[in-house]
């Protein structure tokens, strides 16, 4: 399985679009891995997780041909993960696509209803986009990737999801942002699943949260529990992502903090192979 992180920032990006804090100033100055766009990920070049407002930039920067994308899995309806204005451009005359080429979008009830409203006002989109509500804990197939939505601990106004992705080689990833420490029903479900790759929320940086997002102390707790229940072992790769300037630590400082605990720190363009 190949996983490419396109964006690794929280909702405002880092530097924050309007922010003048010292951590954003420092990120602007240092550049490189300290520049974090809004979160999106590509799995095996065939499935995209989330559609942030920086997707256009990702397409240019990483030379991605979205005319070939068939499967888009959405975690939740927050604007940094689901930017619908650009999704509405997947239709004639904005996009010239192969005959019958559809984009299947999978998500929770909030994603389904937002997308349906857009399609009702823009009926041509129906010929280009399929919307699928996917219930939690029910596995479905998106092309040749098996996908299972799990409940996250995030915005209580909707059923936010994290996901299990499994490819044809049997490699399995637990994709865990945006979320605090997982709800018990999610822990219950993942018992008995082994993960080759675990990707976790680290919005709070060095601080503890666990309720809406996670910081490294929460990531460590989640890692320990995953190992304890047999979902992971020393061969499992652990990655942290979704960082905010409010977590203060820039890339190199995060690496220094996370490395002794066995976590790789994602950055925009970071690729992992398992």
| Footprint on this chain of Zn ion (rule: CB under 5 A) | 16, 19, 21, 24, 78, 80, 178, 245
Is 105 in contact with 72 (CB distance < 8 Å)?
Answer: yes
CB of 134 to Zn ion, least distance (A): 18
Instruction: Quote the tokens at residue 82.
Output: 């689901």
CB of 204 to Zn ion, least distance (A): 12
Nearer to Zn ion (CB atom), residue 125 or residue 222:
222
CB of 91 to Zn ion, least distance (A): 27
CB of 172 to Zn ion, least distance (A): 23
What Cα–Cα distance (Å) separates residue 199 from each residue in 177, 202, 222, 238?
Answer: 8, 10, 11, 6
CB of 203 to Zn ion, least distance (A): 7
Is 153 in contact with 178 (CB distance < 8 Å)?
Answer: no
Nearer to Zn ion (CB atom), residue 178 or residue 268:
178
How many whole angstroms separate alpha carbon 219 and alpha carbon 242?
A: 12
Nearer to Zn ion (CB atom), residue 205 or residue 231:
205
| DSSP designation for 32 | G
Nearer to Zn ion (CB atom), residue 243 or residue 263:
243
How many whole angstroms separate alpha carbon 70 and alpha carbon 46?
A: 7
Count of C-beta atoms within a 10 Å radius of residue 73: 27
Which contiguous run of DSSP H or E holds residue 113? helix 109-121
Nearer to Zn ion (CB atom), residue 71 or residue 213:
213
Nearer to Zn ion (CB atom), residue 16 or residue 176:
16
CB burial class (10 A; 0-12, 13-18, 19+) of residue 57?
A: middle
CB of 234 to Zn ion, least distance (A): 30
How many whole angstroms separate alpha carbon 245 and alpha carbon 47?
A: 29
Is 85 in contact with 116 (CB distance < 8 Å)?
Answer: no
């Amino acid at each position: 399985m190949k996983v490419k992180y396109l964006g690794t920032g929280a909702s405002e990006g880092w530097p924050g679009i309007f922010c003048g804090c010292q951590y954003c100033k420092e990120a602007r100055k240092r550049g490189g891995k300290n520049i974090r766009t809004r979160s999106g990920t590509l799995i095996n070049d065939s499935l995209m997780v989330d559609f942030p407002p920086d997707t256009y930039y990702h397409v240019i920067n990483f030379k991605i041909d979205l005319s070939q994308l068939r499967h888009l899995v959405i975690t939740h309806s927050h604007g940094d993960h689901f930017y619908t204005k650009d999704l509405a451009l997947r239709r004639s005359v904005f996009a010239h696509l192969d005959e019958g080429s559809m984009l299947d979008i999978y998500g929770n009830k909030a994603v389904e209803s937002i997308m349906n409203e857009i399609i009702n006002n823009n009926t041509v989109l129906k010929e280009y986009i399929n919307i699928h509500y996917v219930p939690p804990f029910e596995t479905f197939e998106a092309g040749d990737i098996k996908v299972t939505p799990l409940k996250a601990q995030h915005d209580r106004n909707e059923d936010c999801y994290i996901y299990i992705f499994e490819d044809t080689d049997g490699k399995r990833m637990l994709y865990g942002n945006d979320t605090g420490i997982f709800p018990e029903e999610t822990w219950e479900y993942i018992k008995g699943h082994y993960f080759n790759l675990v990707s976790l929320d680290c919005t709070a940086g060095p601080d503890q949260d666990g309720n809406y997002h996670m910081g490294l102390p929460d990531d460590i707790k989640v890692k320990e529990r995953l190992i304890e229940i047999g979902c992971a072992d020393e061969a499992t790769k652990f990655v942290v992502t979704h960082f905010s300037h409010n977590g203060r630590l820039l890339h190199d400082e995060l690496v220094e903090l996370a490395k002794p605990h066995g976590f790789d720190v994602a950055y925009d363009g970071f690729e992992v192979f398992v």
